[in-house]
Chains A and B, each alone.
Chain A
Amino acid sequence: MSELLQVIGLTKRFGGLTAVNNVSFSVQEHEILSVIGPNGAGKSTLFKLIASFLRTSGGEVRFRGERISNLAPHITARKGIVRTFQETTIFKGMTVRENVVIAHHLRSKASLFGFFIESPAAARDEQEFGRSADQILEFLDLGEIKNEVASNLPQGHLRALGIAIGLSTDPTVLLLDEPFAGMNHDETRRAVEMVRSVRDRGVTLLLVEHDMSAVMKISDRIVVLNFGEKIAEGTPEEIQSNESVIEAYLGIEDESIGL
């Protein structure tokens, strides 16, 4: 195992508010690392900083030793760090399969003009993307609904589609923003399996999540944020017995951390 992603002293200020304050941690290859914390702790901001959707106020993110903070989002994505979204953000007007096929864009070798005149490279890409999309849809159990228009799908399927879109880009690191939010027990169980199988494909996963029981089950390591600062880092067992974490979740610790 080696350090794939390093977050070094990352800071983000919005005017007078410091949303993320001097946070440092690193992500090992092929691990599932969860970022947890109470509402407003800066988890989503941290994600946006890693995926270059926000500019940093200080500190940096390194990917395989190379600085990636403050690049354009599509450049970061091309380097292999891909973010899925908190809300069920998908291309609503397209079918499930179209969503996944278009998400293969990153892998494309043909130019825009090549697509227009349908050059051999473009035709090859198009064929290969279709095949790969079908595989990913099978893998995530979306094969049967691939011709449905995405806006008609129920929550659970939308979340899976979000992950399918992320996977289609062939990411090295996939950032999942609350993949289990709004799911019932059964759906969560299946989603946890899905996330594990994604890791087994060799993808490193970073997730922000509220569902503590799922986080404890799935994570190799956990980073805890509170008021923008990192207050703990460790394995699920270590986090569960950490004093400052319990304090941060004061009053609700019993149910939410599973103690």
Chain B
Amino acid sequence: MTRTTKIVGVGAVLAILLVGIPALINISGRWDLYYTLTSVALLSIASGGVWLTFYIGRINIGQGAYALMGGYVSAILVVKYGVSFWLTLPIAGLFCGAVSVLIGIPILRLRGVYFAMITLVLTEVARLSMLALPITNGAKGITNIPLPGAVEVFGLTLIPDFATLSNAKPAFYYLSIVLMILCFAGLYRLVNSRLGKLCRSLQQNEELASSIGVNIAYLRVVAYVISSFLGGIGGATFAAISQSVYPSSFTIADSINFMLNCFLGGLGYVFGPMLGTLVLYFGWDLLFQTGEFQLLIFSTVLIALILALPNGLLSLRFSKAGKESVGRE
């Protein structure tokens, strides 16, 4: 791909996300799609974090814990201390990152299914902690979280107060899409820099990596912190949109979904979790009418997809391109 086609491609995607989709929704009047797509964008941010832990060779089923933590940090700061949502967003991410250092240092030494099991438990630990901690208000959760306020710089309103908008849904859509774009641009940059290569060296052979001087323990923690940061950001924004957060806001099922999103989209492709989240979320909704068979059909299709495309949905496009280039030679 040349530089110009790349720029055109990126521009087209941005235009579709920021102009095309809102226009289509306005024309068709399907306002509910705003909420759906906002959810997809936020879930894909959390999934992007999970994807990064996959990239260093760890199966992470604990992202729900960080999403929940991020949601609570933001909610508590906004409701109890009156901090602006815009400030709590990075704080929630950083808080999750800091916690993940403490959790990551001991558990990242584990590999394979052992790491996966520990992270699975982590989600449950987070849920129970939120039930038990004095500051989280137990099972009742935190409700009536005010909408994000205005951001003003020198009297210039950069972001209007969401509460004054007649409809906050498009605003949340833009917020989530921008966050998602930032997240995946960052991940893309990371993966294509030397840092990404080092991550891949961990994924393929930790012993060899350390023998060539890679500080594997440090790198593992760095990747895990970024992953948890993204989980926290996703969770905090989710709490702001639903204006509430409960211990059951993110459960083990969500953690598993984050992981499935990565599998479905493709572990080898940065944008895999984005596509995976979209397909999984809409797929689940489309099957709603099948009632009690929803889960059965859903899981059957998923298993079939993973069997047929072990490298994820995005491998479709790449394997085709690969074949063409072989044909030309």
Contact = CB atoms under 8 A, between A and B. Distances in A.
A89 B207 contact: yes
A145 B211 CA distance: 24
B204 A93 contact: yes
Contacts of B200: 91, 93-94, 102
A122 interface: yes
Interface of B: 189-190, 193-195, 197-198, 200-201, 203-205, 207-208, 210-217, 219, 222
Contacts of B215: 72, 74
Given A77-B213, A82-B212, A126-B194, A112 B205 contact: no
Contacts of A158: none
A74 B202 CA distance: 13
7 contacts: A74-B216, A77-B210, A94-B204, A105-B212, A115-B194, A116-B189, A165-B212
Interface string A160-197: 00000100110000000000000000000000000000
Contacts of A105: 194, 198, 201, 212-214
Main SS class of interface, B:
helix
Interface in A124-183: 125-126, 165, 168-169
A198 interface: no
A78 B219 CA distance: 16
B211 to A, nearest CB: 5
Contacts of B198: 102, 105, 112
A227 interface: no
Given A91-B205, A92-B204, A73 B211 contact: yes
A90 interface: yes
Given A102-B201, A112-B195, A74 B214 contact: yes
Interface string A106-132: 101000100110100010011000000
A169 B201 CA distance: 15
A82 B210 CA distance: 10
Contacts of B213: 74, 77-78, 82, 105-106, 169
Given A91-B201, A102-B212, A112-B195, 7 more contacts: A73-B210, A74-B213, A91-B208, A94-B204, A105-B212, A112-B222, A118-B193
Contacts of A118: 193
Interface in A74-101: 74, 77-78, 82-85, 89-94, 98, 101
Contacts of A77: 210-213
A102 B197 contact: yes
A82 B209 CA distance: 11
A93 B208 CA distance: 14
A51 interface: yes
Nearest to B193: A115
B208 A90 contact: yes
Contacts of B214: 74, 105
A103 interface: yes
Contacts of A112: 195, 198, 219, 222
B2 to A, nearest CB: 20
B300 to A, nearest CB: 30
Given A74-B216, A91-B204, A91-B205, A98 B197 contact: yes
